[in-house]
Homo-oligomer: A and B are copies of this chain.
Amino acid sequence: MAEALSNLSRKEQVIRKAAELFKEKGYSAASMRDLAQKLGIEAASLYSHIKSKEEILRTLCFDMATDFRASLSEVEKKKVTASEKLRLGIIGHVQVMARDLTASAVFMNEHRHLSQPYLRDFLLLRINYINRFKTIIEDGISSGDFRKDIDTKLSVMTLFSSLNWMPAWFSPDSTIEPEKLGQQLADMLINGLKQNR
Protein backbone atom coordinates (compact mmCIF):
# COMPACT_ATOMS: atom_id res chain seq x y z
CA MET A 1 0.00 0.00 0.00
CA ALA A 2 3.00 2.26 -0.37
CA GLU A 3 1.63 3.17 -3.77
CA ALA A 4 -1.33 4.85 -2.14
CA LEU A 5 0.95 7.54 -0.80
CA SER A 6 2.79 8.33 -3.98
CA ASN A 7 -0.47 8.06 -5.91
CA LEU A 8 -2.09 10.50 -3.55
CA SER A 9 0.84 12.82 -3.81
CA ARG A 10 0.69 12.93 -7.59
CA LYS A 11 -3.08 13.11 -7.53
CA GLU A 12 -2.90 16.03 -5.16
CA GLN A 13 -0.43 17.72 -7.45
CA VAL A 14 -3.00 17.48 -10.23
CA ILE A 15 -5.74 18.79 -7.97
CA ARG A 16 -3.69 21.74 -6.80
CA LYS A 17 -2.86 22.80 -10.33
CA ALA A 18 -6.50 22.35 -11.23
CA ALA A 19 -7.48 24.63 -8.38
CA GLU A 20 -5.21 27.35 -9.74
CA LEU A 21 -6.65 26.94 -13.19
CA PHE A 22 -10.27 26.88 -12.02
CA LYS A 23 -9.66 30.01 -9.99
CA GLU A 24 -8.04 31.80 -12.91
CA LYS A 25 -10.43 30.94 -15.72
CA GLY A 26 -13.44 29.48 -13.96
CA TYR A 27 -14.40 25.82 -14.01
CA SER A 28 -16.21 25.79 -17.34
CA ALA A 29 -13.65 27.81 -19.23
CA ALA A 30 -10.80 25.64 -17.95
CA SER A 31 -10.20 22.67 -20.21
CA MET A 32 -8.52 19.42 -19.35
CA ARG A 33 -5.96 20.21 -22.05
CA ASP A 34 -5.14 23.49 -20.28
CA LEU A 35 -4.65 21.58 -17.07
CA ALA A 36 -2.48 18.95 -18.74
CA GLN A 37 -0.30 21.64 -20.26
CA LYS A 38 0.22 23.23 -16.86
CA LEU A 39 1.52 19.87 -15.67
CA GLY A 40 3.60 19.21 -18.77
CA ILE A 41 1.67 16.09 -19.79
CA GLU A 42 -1.03 15.07 -22.25
CA ALA A 43 -4.70 15.52 -21.44
CA ALA A 44 -5.42 11.80 -21.55
CA SER A 45 -2.71 11.17 -18.96
CA LEU A 46 -4.73 13.02 -16.35
CA TYR A 47 -7.11 10.11 -16.22
CA SER A 48 -4.45 7.91 -14.65
CA HIS A 49 -4.95 10.06 -11.55
CA ILE A 50 -8.52 11.27 -11.54
CA LYS A 51 -11.83 9.86 -12.66
CA SER A 52 -13.27 13.00 -14.18
CA LYS A 53 -13.04 16.76 -14.29
CA GLU A 54 -15.90 17.04 -11.88
CA GLU A 55 -14.24 14.74 -9.38
CA ILE A 56 -11.57 17.40 -8.99
CA LEU A 57 -14.16 20.06 -8.31
CA ARG A 58 -15.92 17.80 -5.82
CA THR A 59 -12.70 17.14 -3.95
CA LEU A 60 -11.86 20.83 -3.75
CA CYS A 61 -15.31 21.89 -2.61
CA PHE A 62 -15.99 19.19 -0.04
CA ASP A 63 -12.51 19.25 1.48
CA MET A 64 -12.84 22.96 2.12
CA ALA A 65 -16.32 22.47 3.54
CA THR A 66 -14.95 19.91 5.99
CA ASP A 67 -12.28 22.33 7.20
CA PHE A 68 -14.75 25.16 7.69
CA ARG A 69 -17.07 22.98 9.72
CA ALA A 70 -14.27 21.64 11.88
CA SER A 71 -13.13 25.17 12.67
CA LEU A 72 -16.61 26.28 13.67
CA SER A 73 -17.16 23.22 15.86
CA GLU A 74 -14.06 24.13 17.87
CA VAL A 75 -15.40 27.62 18.45
CA GLU A 76 -18.87 26.46 19.44
CA LYS A 77 -17.41 24.44 22.30
CA LYS A 78 -15.94 27.48 24.01
CA LYS A 79 -17.79 29.08 26.87
CA VAL A 80 -17.52 32.76 26.00
CA THR A 81 -19.85 35.67 25.22
CA ALA A 82 -21.64 35.74 21.89
CA SER A 83 -19.62 38.63 20.51
CA GLU A 84 -16.41 36.84 21.47
CA LYS A 85 -17.72 33.68 19.86
CA LEU A 86 -18.54 35.55 16.70
CA ARG A 87 -15.09 37.07 16.73
CA LEU A 88 -13.46 33.66 17.07
CA GLY A 89 -15.70 32.21 14.40
CA ILE A 90 -14.69 34.91 11.96
CA ILE A 91 -11.01 34.51 12.74
CA GLY A 92 -11.29 30.75 12.30
CA HIS A 93 -13.03 31.14 8.98
CA VAL A 94 -10.37 33.53 7.73
CA GLN A 95 -7.61 31.20 8.86
CA VAL A 96 -9.09 28.23 7.05
CA MET A 97 -9.36 30.33 3.94
CA ALA A 98 -5.83 31.63 4.26
CA ARG A 99 -4.51 28.09 4.53
CA ASP A 100 -5.51 27.58 0.91
CA LEU A 101 -6.67 30.72 -0.82
CA THR A 102 -6.81 29.04 -4.19
CA ALA A 103 -9.08 26.22 -3.09
CA SER A 104 -11.15 28.76 -1.16
CA ALA A 105 -11.75 30.77 -4.28
CA VAL A 106 -12.88 27.67 -6.13
CA PHE A 107 -15.05 26.59 -3.21
CA MET A 108 -16.75 29.94 -3.32
CA ASN A 109 -17.18 30.70 -6.97
CA GLU A 110 -17.28 27.37 -8.76
CA HIS A 111 -19.34 25.11 -6.54
CA ARG A 112 -22.40 25.79 -8.64
CA HIS A 113 -20.94 23.67 -11.41
CA LEU A 114 -21.30 20.56 -9.30
CA SER A 115 -23.93 18.24 -10.69
CA GLN A 116 -26.69 16.63 -8.69
CA PRO A 117 -26.78 15.11 -6.16
CA TYR A 118 -23.48 16.65 -5.09
CA LEU A 119 -24.70 20.19 -5.53
CA ARG A 120 -27.63 19.54 -3.24
CA ASP A 121 -25.37 18.03 -0.58
CA PHE A 122 -22.97 20.92 -0.83
CA LEU A 123 -25.68 23.51 -0.44
CA LEU A 124 -27.06 21.72 2.59
CA LEU A 125 -23.66 21.78 4.27
CA ARG A 126 -23.37 25.42 3.46
CA ILE A 127 -26.72 26.46 4.82
CA ASN A 128 -26.05 24.54 7.99
CA TYR A 129 -22.77 26.40 8.46
CA ILE A 130 -24.45 29.74 7.89
CA ASN A 131 -27.26 28.94 10.28
CA ARG A 132 -24.81 28.14 13.04
CA PHE A 133 -23.36 31.62 12.66
CA LYS A 134 -26.87 33.01 12.65
CA THR A 135 -27.54 31.28 15.95
CA ILE A 136 -24.49 32.94 17.47
CA ILE A 137 -25.78 36.33 16.41
CA GLU A 138 -29.26 35.58 17.76
CA ASP A 139 -27.75 34.53 21.08
CA GLY A 140 -25.85 37.79 21.09
CA ILE A 141 -29.03 39.75 20.62
CA SER A 142 -30.78 37.87 23.44
CA SER A 143 -27.90 38.45 25.81
CA GLY A 144 -27.74 42.16 25.00
CA ASP A 145 -24.34 41.79 23.39
CA PHE A 146 -25.72 42.96 20.06
CA ARG A 147 -28.27 45.58 19.13
CA LYS A 148 -31.86 44.40 19.20
CA ASP A 149 -32.79 46.22 16.01
CA ILE A 150 -30.54 44.36 13.61
CA ASP A 151 -31.87 41.97 10.99
CA THR A 152 -30.14 38.65 11.64
CA LYS A 153 -30.56 37.35 8.12
CA LEU A 154 -29.13 40.52 6.63
CA SER A 155 -26.31 40.51 9.15
CA VAL A 156 -25.26 36.99 8.48
CA MET A 157 -25.40 37.43 4.71
CA THR A 158 -23.31 40.60 5.00
CA LEU A 159 -20.87 38.76 7.19
CA PHE A 160 -20.38 35.95 4.69
CA SER A 161 -20.25 38.25 1.75
CA SER A 162 -17.37 40.10 3.39
CA LEU A 163 -15.58 36.93 4.34
CA ASN A 164 -16.03 35.13 1.11
CA TRP A 165 -14.58 37.71 -1.17
CA MET A 166 -11.33 37.63 0.70
CA PRO A 167 -9.65 35.14 -1.65
CA ALA A 168 -10.31 37.52 -4.51
CA TRP A 169 -8.30 40.41 -3.14
CA PHE A 170 -6.09 39.07 -0.37
CA SER A 171 -2.57 38.42 -1.62
CA PRO A 172 -0.51 35.89 0.33
CA ASP A 173 2.62 38.04 0.13
CA SER A 174 0.78 40.77 1.99
CA THR A 175 2.46 41.87 5.18
CA ILE A 176 -0.62 41.24 7.28
CA GLU A 177 -1.03 37.77 8.81
CA PRO A 178 -4.34 35.99 8.45
CA GLU A 179 -5.10 36.10 12.15
CA LYS A 180 -4.55 39.84 12.30
CA LEU A 181 -6.73 40.22 9.26
CA GLY A 182 -9.46 38.14 10.85
CA GLN A 183 -9.25 40.29 13.97
CA GLN A 184 -9.62 43.49 11.99
CA LEU A 185 -12.48 42.14 9.95
CA ALA A 186 -14.31 40.98 13.04
CA ASP A 187 -13.71 44.32 14.70
CA MET A 188 -15.05 46.18 11.73
CA LEU A 189 -18.19 44.13 11.46
CA ILE A 190 -18.88 44.13 15.17
CA ASN A 191 -17.98 47.71 15.99
CA GLY A 192 -18.56 49.42 12.65
CA LEU A 193 -16.71 52.28 11.09
CA LYS A 194 -18.13 54.98 13.28
CA GLN A 195 -16.32 56.59 16.10
CA ASN A 196 -17.98 55.49 19.36
CA ARG A 197 -18.96 58.89 20.53
What residues make up the interface of A, taking CB atoms closer than 8 Å to B?
Answer: 26-29, 83, 86, 109, 112-113, 137, 140, 144-147, 150-151, 154-155, 157-158, 160-166, 169, 181, 184-185, 188-197
Determine the distance from Cα of A157 to Cα of B181 in the docked complex, in whole angstroms: 12
Closest CB-CB distance, A63 to chain B, in whole Å? 22
- Give A149's nearest chain B residue, CB to CB: B187
**Closest partner residue, chain B, to A165 (CB atom):** B161
How far is it, in angstroms, between the C-alpha of A191 and the C-alpha of B83 when the chains are bound? Answer: 15
Q: Nearest Cβ distance between residue A180 and chain B, in whole angstroms?
A: 10
Are A137 and B184 within 8 A (Cβ)?
Answer: no
| A155 in contact with B188 (CB, 8 Å) | yes
Q: Can you pick out 23 interface pairs between chain A and chain B where the beta carbons lie within 8 Å of each other?
A: A26-B26, A26-B112, A26-B113, A28-B29, A83-B194, A145-B194, A146-B194, A146-B195, A147-B196, A151-B184, A154-B184, A154-B188, A158-B162, A160-B165, A161-B163, A161-B164, A188-B192, A189-B193, A190-B192, A191-B192, A191-B194, A192-B194, A196-B197
Which chain B residue shows the least CB distance to A83? Answer: B194
State whether A188 and B158 are in contact (beta carbons under 8 Å apart), knowing that A146-B193, A165-B164 are contacts in the complex: yes
